[in-house]
Amino acid sequence: MERAVVSAATGAMSSVLAKLAELLHEKYKLAKGVRKDIEFLRSELGVMNDLLHVMADIEELDALNKGWRDTVRELAYDIEDCIDLSVARLHRAGGDASKGGFFGAQLARKLKKIRVSFQIAHQITELKARVIEESDRHKRYKLDGLIGSSSDASRNKVDLRICALWEETKNLVGLDGPRDEIIRLTVSIVGCAGLGKTTLANQVYQKIQGHFECKAFVSVSQNPNIKDILMKICSQVGATPSMADDELLLVNKLRERLQYKRYIAVVDDIWHSDPWKIIGQALVRTSPGSIIIVTTRLKDVAESCCSSHGGRVYDMRPLDDNDSRRLFFKRIFDFEDKCPHELERASEDILKKCDGIPLAIISISSFLAVDVPQSADHWNKVKESISLPLPGNKSVETMQLVLSLSYFNLPHHLRTCLLYLSAFPEDSQITRDPLIGSWIAEGFVNAEPGESLYEAGLRYFNDLINRSLIQPWCEVRGVVMSCKVHDVILNFLVSKSVEENFLTLSDPSGLPTSLHSKVRRLSIQNSYQENVVSWIKSIKPYIRSLACSVDCKELFPLTEFEVVRVLNLEDCGALTNFHLANVEVLLQLRYLNISGTGVSELPAGIGQVQNLETLDIRCTQVEKLPSTIVQLEKLARLFVSRKVKFPTEGFSKMKALEQLTCFSIHGQSLGFLKELGQLTNLRTLNIVDYEGSRWGIFTSSLQALCSHKLLDVSIYTTEWTPIPMDSSFPALQSLRTFVISTIISLPSWMGLLDLRVLGGMPALETLILYLAQTHAGPFTIQEHEFQHLKSFSVGELYQILFMPGAMPNVKHLQIELKIERDAFATNSYRDDLGIQHLASLTRVDVGIKCENRDCLVVEFLEAKTRSLLDTHPNRPTLIFNTHFFLGADFFFRPSVFTKRFEKID
C-alpha cells in the first residue's frame, strides 16, 4: 500500500484515506455494498481531515471542539488498525492450506478468503456507524473564526544563516569572557533555565579537552541513577566498570584512575546536593591542574559542590541589552549591530519580553528568521502574541509563550517529529539515524519526488536543528550525529504530548501521565508500580510505538502488541531470546531496536516480519544472522556488530537495503561478499575490519555498488591491521563521503603524491585519510581541486601544502603531521602549510608528533599558522596539539602560544 503521513494534528487520517482507496482495488474482490460503504467513509473522513488540519493551528479550543478533535483522531487510528489487520489476514488467507492436493488447497484458500472478506464487511459497517455518529455530533457544534496558518512557502523556507544552539563559540554572544574565566577555575555555574549554563560548560569543555589526559561529560538531571552516572564517567576516563560493581567500587576505581591524572570533568544539571556527595568523592581533588565544572539551577547546590572541592560559584546573569540585540540581530540578519529601521521598535519590544534569556532570544529569532516576513505588521503581530499577561514566574512565562509560538508555526510534519522526542528521557543523547528510522516507521516522513524516506527524515532533522528546537550534540567532521533536547523544551513537548494523547510516559513514581483508555505511544522511562500492571496489559492492543529501557517484565509477551510499528527496547535488560519468539505475528512491525540487550540469537521467524524496515542489534550477543533474514525485502537499515556473520547466500534479495553499518569483512563467506555488490539501493556502508584473503572480492562489490547509489563509505581498521591499498582498489567516483583508516600506502589512482584523482571527484564532500608507517609527502593540493569538499582530515604526513584556490568550500580541516628529530637542523620542514588559502575555513585542528622534545619546528609552525589565520576573513578556530617522542616514551604538551591555558599547564 502507498505510504501516507501520520501526524499529531490528524492522527492516522491521511494514512486511512490512502488505505481506503487501496481497498477499492479489484484484487480484494469486496462486495458491492462494502465498496459503497468504503466510498462513504472516504468522503466523510476527507472532510474531517480538512477540519482537523485547521483545528491543529488553533492554540486554544473550547472543550467541546477539543473533545470532538480527539475523538476523530482516535477514530482514525482505530480504522487504520482495523484495515491493516484485516488486509494482512486476507493476504495470509490460505497460506497454510497446502495439504490435501492442489484442488483441496485451492478450495481451502478460497473459503478462508471469503470468511475474512465477511469479517472486513462487518467491521466496515461498524466503522461507518461510528463515522456517522461523529459527523452528526460535529453538526451540532459551531466553530467560528477558524484561521488557517501561514503559507507553505513561508513555512518551508530554511534560512541557512540560523546557527545551531551549541555551534562554534564565535556564533554565540556573551560567552567569551565567562568561558575564559572558567577555564582557569573549578566552578559551579548557577542560573535559571535557558540562560546557557550547559552551553557555557560545553564551550569550555570543547575548547580545552584536548589538553587533558582524561575527560568526562555527564548529565545528572532530576532523578539520577548514580551507578549509571559513575559508570559513564568510568567509561569516558578509561577506567574499567562492570555491571556487577556497586557504587563504592565504582568510586574507588575512579579515584584510583584519576589520582595522578590531569583531567577535566563536567557534571551537568545537578538538582540536589546528595548526588554530588558521591560523585564528588570519585573526582579526586589532589589531581594537579584538573578542572571540574558543575552546572545547576540552585544556588545552594552550587555552593555545596564548590565547598567540597575548594571552588567558586559562577552566577550566570541574563544578557545585557547590548548582547541581547547582538544575538537577536545576528541570528536573523547575520550582523550584530543593526536591523532595518521599520523593524527597530518591534525588535526592542520583543527583546524586552525575552528579558535577556538566551534560549528565549534564540527561539524567537529562529522563528522570525524562518517563518515571518520582515515587515513591521508581521513583527508587531508576533510581539502581541507573546505579550499576553500570565501569572507566575516571568522566565517560565516567557519560555512557554515563545515555545508555543514557535511550535504552532511549525509545519505539521515537523511538529509531529518534534513531539516524538518527548519519548526520550531528560538529557538523553539521541542518535540521529535510529531516530530517523523510528520517524519513518511511524509514518511521519513524506519524501519529495526523487528523495528517499531517509533523506527526507534527514531534512526534517536538520530543519529542527536549524530552528534551534533541538541541540546538536555529537558532531563528526561537521556532521551532526546525535542531538539533545533542552529540558525546558522537553517539558513543553511532554505537556503537549500528554494533552493531545500523542504519547504517554511513566512518571518518576512509575504511574502513567495519562489514563486514557487507548494509549497509542508509550515511553517507560522509570520504574513502575504493581498498580499499573493491569493497565499496561489493557493498552497493549492499541500501542503503535513502545520505548522502554528498564526491566518491565509486564511488557512480555511482545506478541500482545497487535498493531505495534516501533519497538525500541535498547538497553532493556529483561529482554531475552525467549521474548522474541513468535515475533512474526507482529504484522505491522517496522522498527526493532534490541541493542544493548542480552539477546544472543534472532528467531527464524524474523524473516516473516515483512514490514520491518529498521533492525538494530548492536551491542548484543548475536554472532550469526538466521538464513531467513534475507526474506526481509523491505529492510532498509541494518545495524550490526563486527562479530556478526551473514548468511552464505540470498543476501542479494534484500534490494531495499540502504544502510549497512558496523560489519566486519573478517570471517564472512565469499558468497555474501559477492552478493553485497548487488544491493542496488545501498547508500551507506560502514566496515570496521577486513581480511586480506577476501579484500579483492569486497572491492569488486564496492565498485559495483558505486555504479548504483552508494554515497558514503567508511572503512576503519587499526594500526596493527592496516589496509594494503594497491592498484586493485577501485576509483569510487560517485562518493559523497570517503573515510579510510588505516592504510599502508596510497593506491595508484590517487596519483603519485598530489591526490589528483580524488581532487577531481565531483560529489566528494568529506574525505578522511589516515596512513600508517608511511613517509608520504609532501601532499600538494592544487588549485581547483576538491571543489565540493567541506571536511578534510589527513594523517600521518611529513608535509602538506595547499595552493591558492584549492578546496574553496572546506570548512573543517584536520591534519596530523610528523616531524623528524633533525628537521630544524636539516631544514626539512615547512612552516607555511598554505592553510590561509582555504577561503571557507571555520575550524583547523593540527596535531604534531615530534621526535625531539625541544623541537623548534613546532613553535615556528604554530606561530606562523596563527598569524596567517588571524588575518583570515573567517577567523577560524585553531586547535594545536603536540606529542613529543623520546625513544619509547612520549609526553603531551598543549599549545605553546595559548596564554589562556597558562594556569593549567
820-848 pLDDT per residue, tens = 665 554 455 566 778 888 888 888 888 77
Task: Give yes or no: residues 208 and 262 share one domain.
Answer: yes
Domain for residue 574, yes or no?
no
Residues 393 and 292 in one domain: no
54 or 164, which is more confident: 54
Q: In what order do the strands lie in the sheet with 471-472?
A: 430-431, 482-484, 471-472
> Which pLDDT tens digit goes with each residue over 434-460?
999 999 999 999 988 888 899 999 999
User: Is 848 within a domain?
Assistant: no
Helices (H), 678-765: 692-706, 756-759
Same domain, 180 and 310: yes
Residue 715 falls within a domain, yes or no? Answer: no
Together in a domain, 20 and 117:
yes
The residue among 388, 408, 428 that closes a domain is: 408
Q: Strand ranges (DSSP E) for 784-888?
A: 791-797, 800-802, 812-819, 843-850, 877-886
- The verdict on residue 880 lying in a domain is no
Between 308 and 200, residue with greater pLDDT: 200
Selected residue with higher pLDDT from 173 and 58: 58
845 beta partners = 814, 879
DSSP letter, residue 11: B
Q: Is the pLDDT of residue 98 over 70?
A: no
Overall average pLDDT of the 350-368 stretch: 79
**CATH classification of the domain holding 468:** 1.10.10.10
In angstroms, rounded to a whole number, what is the distance separating the alpha carbons of residues 45 and 72?
9
Cβ atoms of 751 and 779 within 8 Å: the answer is no
**628 part of a folded domain:** no
Overall average pLDDT of the 73-95 stretch: 74
* CATH for 213: 3.40.50.300
Among residues 473, 499, 525, the one where a domain terminates is 499
pLDDT given for residue 145 in this prediction:
39
Residue after which a domain boundary falls, among 348, 375, 408 = 408
Percent of the chain with pLDDT over 90: 14
pLDDT at 658 over 90: yes
Higher pLDDT pick, 599 / 44:
599
902 in a structural domain: no
Mean pLDDT, residues 26-42 = 72
Mean pLDDT for the stretch of residues 179-189: 64
For the chain, give the mean pLDDT.
76
The verdict on 182 and 305 lying in the same domain is: yes
pLDDT at 102: 46
Q: Is the pLDDT of residue 862 over 70?
A: yes
Structure-model confidence comparison of residues 144 and 80, the more confident one: 80
pLDDT at 150: 37
SS (H, E, C) 607-632: HHCCCCCEEECCCCCCCECCHHHHHC
- Mean pLDDT, range 362-388, rounded to an integer: 76
Question: Domain check: are 457 and 332 in the same one?
Answer: no
Tell me which of 202-206, 224-228, 403-407, 489-493 is least confident: 403-407
Rounded Cα distance between 268 and 566, Å, is: 31
Share of residues in the chain with pLDDT > 70 (%): 74
Domain holding 65: CATH number? 1.20.5
Q: What is the pLDDT of residue 759?
A: 60
**Burial label, 354 (beta-carbon count in 10 A; 0-12, 13-18, 19+):** buried
- 427 belongs to a structural domain: yes
Choose between 675 and 742: higher pLDDT.
675
User: Domains in the chain: how many in total?
Assistant: 4
State mean pLDDT over 873-901. Answer: 54
Per the DSSP assignment, residues forming a β-bridge with 574 are none
Cell numbers linked to 155 = 513555512
Residue 904 identity (one-letter amino acid):
I
Same domain, 404 and 416: no
Q: What is the pLDDT of residue 300?
A: 75
For residues 534-548, average pLDDT: 85
One domain, residues 246 and 308: yes
pLDDT digits over 757-774, tens only? 566 567 788 888 776 655
**421 with 387, same domain?**
no
Q: How confident is the model at residue 705 (pLDDT cuts 50, 70, 90)?
A: confident
Residue 357 has pLDDT above 60, yes or no: yes
pTM comes to: 0.71
Would you place residue 421 in the very low, low, confident or very high pLDDT band (cuts 50, 70, 90)? very high
Q: Higher model confidence: residue 401 or residue 817?
A: 817
Judgement on whether residues 183 and 284 belong to the same structural domain of the protein: yes
Answer yes or no: do 355 and 457 share one domain. Answer: no
Interval 497-518: pLDDT, tens = 888 888 888 754 555 555 566 8
Domain span including residue 351: 155-162+319-408
Range name among 327-341, 364-378, 604-618, 787-801 with the lowest pLDDT average: 327-341
Distance from C-alpha of 40 to C-alpha of 17, rounded to nearest angstrom: 11
Q: Sheet harboring 312-315: ordered strands across?
A: 214-221, 263-270, 291-296, 187-190, 312-315
Give the residue, 169 or 431, on which the prediction is more confident. Answer: 431
Residue 448 Ramachandran class (φ > 0 left, ψ -120 to 50 alpha, else beta): beta
- Is 453:437 a contact under the CB 8 Å cutoff? no
pLDDT at 285 over 80: no
Which pLDDT band, with edges at 50, 70 and 90, does 602 fall under? Answer: very high
Instruction: Specify the 3-state DSSP secondary structure of 315.
Output: strand
Res 892 pLDDT > 70: no
Collapsed DSSP state (helix, strand, coil) of residue 426 = coil
Q: Are 208 and 283 in the same domain?
A: yes
Query: Is residue 60 pLDDT above 60, yes or no?
Result: yes
Compute the average pLDDT of residues 103-110: 53
User: Is 36 within the bounds of a domain?
Assistant: yes
The span from the first CA to the last CA of the chain, in angstroms, equals: 64
pLDDT tens, position by position, 555-601? 788 888 888 999 999 888 778 888 888 888 888 899 999 998 889 99
Comparing 713 with 405, which gets the higher pLDDT? 713
Burial of 377 (0-12, 13-18, 19+ CB in 10 A): exposed
Q: Which residue has the higher pLDDT, 538 or 676?
A: 676
pLDDT at 31: 66
pLDDT in tens, 611-645: 999 999 998 899 999 999 999 999 999 999 888 99
Kindly report whether the peptide bond that precedes residue 742 is cis, defined as omega within 30 degrees of 0. yes
Which range, 158-167, 620-629, 868-877, 895-904, is most confident? 620-629
